[in-house]
Amino acid sequence: MLIAGGLYREVCETPYWNEEMGSGVRAAAALSNLCPSLELYTYRSTAIGQAFDYLTGMGVIVHCSPRSHDIAFAYFHPLSTPHIEPTILPVRSAPMVVKGQNVLRFGFLEGSAVVNAERAVYDPQTARCIERFSSNGSRAEKLALVLNEAELRAYTGIDDVEAGTALLLQNNEAEVVILKRGVRGALAASKNGSMSTIPAYQSRRTFKIGTGDIFSAVFAFYWAELRCSPVEAAHLASKAVSFYCDFRQVPLPLNFADDRVPIVGPSPSCVILKGSTATLGRRYSLEEARHCIETLGIRVIAPDIDLSTHAQDVGLEASLLILADGLAETEIRSILDEHSERETRIILDEERRASLASLTGVTDDFTTAIYSVCWGHTS
């Protein structure tokens, strides 16, 4: 199997992460135990380095095309918008040519991959200035597009995601469309008219950097390489994301899909967000949590930062998220008592207070708290 994807430096402040990865490196590393023959096509300013040694040690053949600068993604936390350096690449690298039976193609910042394949999977990786699969001369007998909702809208110009998915299939732009929908799982749509819902799978922790790479890599392996159905391949890809969120581990083990539990039922109608606003930092955390939840498509009631909203205005199906920083244990327990009938009550306690350890739904990780409350289950 051939992979065309990026090799980039990734840095995150909390939780700490500093690795030379990117879509191509992560995908190749993830599949190295599953697929006996892997080749990665990527760009690099030098032909050697940490990622090169890492992959060749796993038996992956790496083809490096030159680029003018190294590229880095810097995150404050895994749900924040990354700062990309350099902000503008002075020179765009020449396209690379990738020809083989089965190819996974990711979008690049610095160039492009012209693919000629029997089966190809394309993940553009961005909704900004999106490049259509065939616009650079790429061809595939059977093509699967793996897109999130913003990428689908950019690809089709249609706001309704189901209509956009159907359009791609009707116009023969793809044999299969996999639509990633965040906390709502995914949709798998095929040219034969079938459309199936793929659940997200539970993880005890949620590390989001690179989950899209893992999904596309595992889907491509099972659909293109092993010829599984799109639905089966998408289920396995979703399970692989759950495993990766828990352990940040690549290569994926052979048993990565074991004991993965699907998240069933609808997402909560909204999230009630509570916390302290006594300092700028605490106010910022509340604002950031509200922004991240709304980005995932769920309404937020945050009485502490928006006095016009009231938790009493929503039903019991709403979830509760408490940011514990700055709140006394008595205040936290009072909020929990006030919302005792809600099924999902999550507490973000980054200080890891022993007095709160016995409570259900406590996590010390921001991203885990956001996803747990949006899934509507207690980690």
pLDDT at 175 over 60: yes
Longest Cα–Cα distance in the chain: 63
DSSP string, 216-268: HHHHHIIIIIS---HHHHHHHHHHHHHHHHHH--SSPPTTTTTT--B--SPPP
Provide the 3-class DSSP secondary structure of residue 186: strand
179, 50 contact by CB (below 8 A) = no
Question: Which part of the chain is CATH 3.40.50?
Answer: 270-375
pTM, to two decimals: 0.94
What's domain 2-247's superfamily in CATH? Answer: Ribokinase (3.40.1190.20)
Q: Region 169-176: what's the mean pLDDT?
A: 90
Class (C level, CATH) for 270-375? alpha beta
- Extract the tokens encoding 14: 């909390």
Q: With bands split at pLDDT 50, 70 and 90, how would you rate the model's confidence at 47?
A: low
Residue 273 pLDDT: 97
Cα distance between residue 347 and residue 280, in whole Å: 20
pLDDT at 94 over 80: yes
pLDDT at 71 over 60: yes
More confident residue, 266 or 150: 150
pLDDT at 132 over 70: yes
Find, among 225, 214, 151, the residue nearest to 25 by Cα.
214
Strands (E), the chain: 2-4, 8-12, 17-21, 39-44, 61-66, 72-75, 83-85, 96-106, 113-123, 139-148, 176-180, 186-190, 195-198, 270-275, 299-301, 319-323, 345-348, 362-363
| Average pLDDT over all residues of the chain | 93
pLDDT tens-place string over residues 214-242: 999 999 999 999 999 999 999 999 999 99
DSSP code of 93?
P
Angular region, 373: left φ>0, alpha ψ -120 to 50, beta rest: alpha
Angular region, 193: left φ>0, alpha ψ -120 to 50, beta rest: left
Provide the 3-class DSSP secondary structure of residue 102: strand
CA angle in degrees (0–180, nearest 5) for 275-280-282: 25
Residue 16 pLDDT: 95
- Extract the tokens encoding 51: 């990622």
Question: Which part of the chain is CATH 3.40.1190.20?
Answer: 2-247
